[in-house]
Every structure is written in C-alpha cells, then in structure tokens.
Structure 1
Amino acid sequence: MNSYPTRSIPSRRGSRLAVATIGAAAWTGLLVGGGALPHAAADSHETPAPTSTPAPQVENASSTDVRFATMMVPHHRTGIEMTQMAIEKATTPGVRDVAQAAQQSQQSQLPVLEAIAASGSAPHEMEEPLMTFNEQEMAELRSLTGEAFDKKWLDTFSSHHMSAIMMADTALPGATSDQARAIEQEIHDGQLQQLATMNQLREQLSGQVSLVPTGAAETGGGSTADPQNGGLIATGAGLVVAGAAGGALALRRRSSAGR
C-alpha cells in the first residue's frame, strides 16, 4: 500500500472533521456494539441499478461477516446514489472520474454483500439518528451546485468512505467465510485508495487536505503512528476519527499479499 504525504489541517475546518467523525463512528459503533442494523431507506430519487452479477454461494459466514454485509448493503446503496449526483453535477475535473470509479466498484460488490447478508438472520432496522444524519447530508448535496457542490460532495463521500474502511477493518479479524473476507479486504483497500484521490481533489479546491492516509500521521499531541502497525489516520488538528466508545479507532492498512 502506498503512503501519502502528511498535511496538517487548520482548526477552522473542525466542523467538517466533526461531521466525518460522527458519520464514521456511528456506522462502526453499530458493527462493534450490535443492536439494530440498517436497511436502505426509501427514497424518491432513483438509484442506478447494480450491474447483474451472479450472487455467490456463501459458506461459513460468521455473525461478524453477516453484520458487516448487512450494514454495507444500504451503505453502498447510499454511496451509489451519491456517486450519481456527482456524475450529473460535478464541475471540478477528477470529481466525476472518482465518482464513476466508486459507482462501478460498489455496484459490482452489492450482489456479494447481499448474498452474505442473506445467509444470516440479522434484523434490518435503521437506527433513527443515523437515518436522519444520512437524509440531512443527502438533502444538502441536492441543494448545492458548482464548486460548492464539489467541495461538499468530497467531504461527505470521504466521510462515507471512512466509515466503510473502519467497518471493514473491524470485521476482517472475525471473518470466517472466504467470500466475506475477500469482499471486506476489497472494500477496505479500494476505498482507501479512492480516499487518497479525494484528498488530492479537495486540496486542489481549497489548498487543504481533509482526511489523509499516511505512512506516519501526526496524532495532534505531537506523536506519530504508523498505520502498518495499527496506526491512526490523523491530522495536525487532532484525531480525525473517534471510536464508538469515545476512544481513537486504529485503521490498520491491510494488504491481501500480507495475509
């Protein structure tokens, strides 16, 4: 996995970091803590249909595998809707490209996730605070145009990716199904790469970076942490992501070759 340069983030961007923290920690908290799992909320806006891929036969899926997949199905559906917005509305070169790449990968992953989710018997209720958060973010995106849309989309989709990376990182140690382990690894690695691309695009728009994967990231207290050894994705303004219990959640860079 490549490393990316560390940039500190001015404190005036704390509100945007807080949004990322809330969204990512909320999803990961559901995966770790149990409780009601999400389903795709009804929406009047049409979401592009996933490409037809035969659903695999899933064997030996653990409860963690099933919970991860059950959460990722609505997460991906929301992501696909967000990518369609960017494909139609983005004006910044590169934003539409990353949206198209993300849409293609998430559409191809949906049948696998649905098959894993169907192999269990978990409930499918979306918790109200999380549903409200998603609806508010989507409504704001729909209201924006031009560069304002591009900035907000990059911020929101980066947060969306962070939650998927965190969930995959949490689920991988408990994976017992080959299909589940493969899709968890694919989501983790692919979205980490797309997050780096979005960081670069966000820097082009404002001269600042939002969420920066790095080989040795500052933790805000002057120390550093190496993601290869269970480090933290962090910024000079402090930790980007807080765990569901209030502590920092480590994002380990996982490599398929190293497993």
Structure 2
Amino acid sequence: MNTRKLLPLSAVALAAALALAGCSTGTPGSSATSMPGMDHGAMSSSSPSASESSQAVGDHNAADVMFAQMMIPHHAQAVEMSDMILARQGIPNEVSALATRIKDAQGPEIEKMTSWLSGWNQSTQMPGGHSMEGMMGADDMAKLQAAQGADAAKLFLTQMIAHHKGAVVMAQTETAGGQNADAVQLAKDIVAGQEAEIKEMQQLLTTL
C-alpha cells in the first residue's frame, strides 16, 4: 500500500464524521499518523456534561479550533476501520477487543469536540487546503475492506499504528499551542492513550 504522511481531508471522511455525530480514515508506515479512538479513560467514556461543555466554550484560539476540526474526521476514520474489523470472521479476540475499545472511546470524543465547535460558533468542517497526518487513503480503506481473517487483523494493526501516530502528532501540536483547557487536556489524553495502544498493537503484530 502506498504510504503518505499527509492526506487532504476528503469529502467522504467528512461526511462520515458528520454522520457519526459526528465519525472516519491514515496510511500505515508513515512517520506521522492518526489519533483515533483510544481508551482515554473516563473522559472518553461518556458524553460531555453540561458543565464540561460550558467550560469548553470559554477561552479558545485558532489552534483549539483546528485541533477539533481535524480530529473529528480523524477519529471518524478510526471508528470506520474498527467497524470493518469487527464485521470480519476469524479475527483474534485481542484484535477485536482493541477495535471495540477504539470505537467506544472515539465516538464520545467526536461528540465532545463537535459540541465545542458549536459553542465556539465554528464549523465542524476544516477549511480547504489543510492536511492531516495518518489518514488512510481510499485505496488503503479498500484493502482493509477486502481483507479476511489473519490478513485483515495484520492490516488493521499496521494501518491503525500509522493512524495513531498521526493523531499523536496533531495532539502534540494542540498541547503546544492550544489555549482552551479542556481541548489541551483531551490532546494530552490522546497522546498518552494512543502511544500506549501503539505499543500494544506492535506487540500484537508479533503474535500473528
């Protein structure tokens, strides 16, 4: 599969993101990749409360807005990839469990970031001309859709590692330049959670 560090946000990914509450896509092997759905603890296991939403509407800057606009479709693609693997037969239990955790964590985070953008009177769509790290291309997604059994599990892990790496890069950018406390905290949670999952997936690959 072709690797790429940056891929312009596609209309397909954006449409999928909005459908999940936005949620959907990265390229394996790229040094920068995705953020997608990880287990970030209690913060990602439930929808934002009224108080959280109120706090998030406070001070924010352009970095906070861009972080949310980019992470929504990035998370959405991770959810889409997880759905693909969960629909397959013959997938090792450990891989299916990981895909479930990713999906369960990132869905609520998409809702959280969507609510922030709404409170900031900002579009959930990224301005044209921006690119995201770790997003899968259409050919990568097609290969994952077609793969079966152990091959599908290996491809999912390889692609998701790249996707997670991209998310970590974007989250680190937010922690360095963001202003909104809630957004910066989510970015820190993404870095910690996804770096741990990258190690987990690399270990799983050695067993397949």
Q: SS of the residue aligned with 2:6? A: helix
* 1:211-249 Cα shifts (integer Å, max 9, x gaps): xxxxxxxxxxxxxxxxxxxxxxxxxxxxxxxxxxxxxxx
Deviation of 1:117 (Å) = 3.1
Q: Distance in 1 between matches of 2:104 and 2:196?
A: 15
Deviation of 1:61 (Å) = 1.4
Q: Does 1:72 align with 2:66?
A: no
Deviation of 1:88 (Å) = 2.0
Q: Which segments of structure 1 move beyond 3 Å, counting only runs of 4 or more? A: 37-43, 46-52, 120-123, 125-130
Q: SS of the residue aligned with 2:206? A: helix
Structure 1: tracts of 5 or more residues without a match: 1-15, 31-36, 206-259
Q: Distance in 2 between matches of 1:127 and 1:86?
A: 31
Aligned to 2:92: 92
Deviation of 1:82 (Å) = 0.8
Q: Distance in 2 between matches of 1:129 and 1:96?
A: 29
Query: Are residues 192 and 155 of structure 1, via their aligned partners in 2, closer, same or farther at CA, if it must alter by over 3 Å?
Result: same
Query: Are residues 52 and 83 of structure 1, via their aligned partners in 2, closer, same or farther at CA, if it must alter by over 3 Å?
Result: same
Q: SS of the residue aligned with 1:94? A: helix
| 1:124 aligned to which of 126, 136, 140 | 126
Query: Are residues 204 and 52 of structure 1, via their aligned partners in 2, closer, same or farther at CA, if it must alter by over 3 Å?
Result: closer
Q: Distance in 1 between matches of 2:205 and 2:128?
A: 31
Q: Distance in 2 between matches of 1:79 and 1:126?
A: 22
Question: How much identity, in percent, do the aligned residues show?
Answer: 24
Matches within 5 A, 1:15-34: 19=3, 22=4, 25-26=5-6
Aligned to 1:53: 47
Matches within 5 A, 1:198-213: 198-205=201-208
Deviation of 1:81 (Å) = 0.9
Q: Does 1:148 align with 2:151?
A: yes
The one-letter code sitting in structure 2 at the alignment partner of 1:192 is E
Structure 2: tracts of 5 or more residues without a match: 24-44
Query: Do the aligned partners of 1:72 and 1:164 also contact (CA within 8 Å) in 2?
Result: yes
TM-score, normalised relative to structure 1: 0.58
Matches within 5 A, 1:224-235: none
Query: Do the aligned partners of 2:95 and 2:153 also contact (CA within 8 Å) in 1?
Result: yes
User: Would you tell me which structure has more helix in proportion to its own residues?
Assistant: 2
Q: Distance in 1 between matches of 2:176 and 2:131?
A: 28
Query: Are residues 139 and 127 of structure 1, via their aligned partners in 2, closer, same or farther at CA, if it must alter by over 3 Å?
Result: farther
Deviation of 1:48 (Å) = 9.6
Q: SS of the residue aligned with 1:204? A: coil
Aligned to 2:164: 161
RCO higher in 1 or 2 (8 Å CA, sep ≥ 6)?
2
Q: Distance in 1 between matches of 2:15 and 2:86?
A: 22
TM-score, normalised relative to structure 2: 0.71
| 1:171 aligned to which of 174, 177, 180 | 174
Query: Do the aligned partners of 2:22 and 2:111 also contact (CA within 8 Å) in 1?
Result: no
Q: Distance in 2 between matches of 1:140 and 1:127?
A: 27
Aligned to 1:107: 107
* 1:140-163 Cα shifts (integer Å, max 9, x gaps): 111110111111111111111110
